Amino acid sequence: MPTDEPTADDVVQTASDAAEGYVFSQYKQSAVRDLDVTVTFEDGVLEVDVYLNVPEGDGEADPEQVADDAALTARQAVDELFEE
């Protein structure tokens, strides 16, 4: 029976894309030494973990705050996905 609910793969991809998009809206891609976005969606529970390594200084945003905001952005994107 067809369902209108997004698949787990859709949820994971949406969250991952949103988190990465947020990070790269805050930093130039060349400034990011390492970015790891881990997303799991099991039994209706979404977990998003963002690891970000960028050089300190340059007056750019705080990497820890950007990582937290990226995870929040990922969760919001998934909420919007379920509202569609």
Question: What are the phi and psi torsion angles at 23 (to 5°)?
Answer: -60, -45
Looking at residue 65, the DSSP 8-state letter turns out to be H
Assign 55 a pLDDT band (cuts: 50, 70, 90): confident
Domain of residue 69 covers 8-83
> Where do we find the tokens 């952005």?
73
pTM (2 decimals)? 0.90
Structural domain includes residue 46: yes
- Residue with the two structure tokens 């937290």: 68
Q: Is 44 a member of any domain?
A: yes
Residue 3 lies in a domain: no
Total domains present in the chain:
1
Note the pLDDT tens digit of each residue in 23-35: 999 999 999 999 9
* 29: CATH: 3.30.300.100
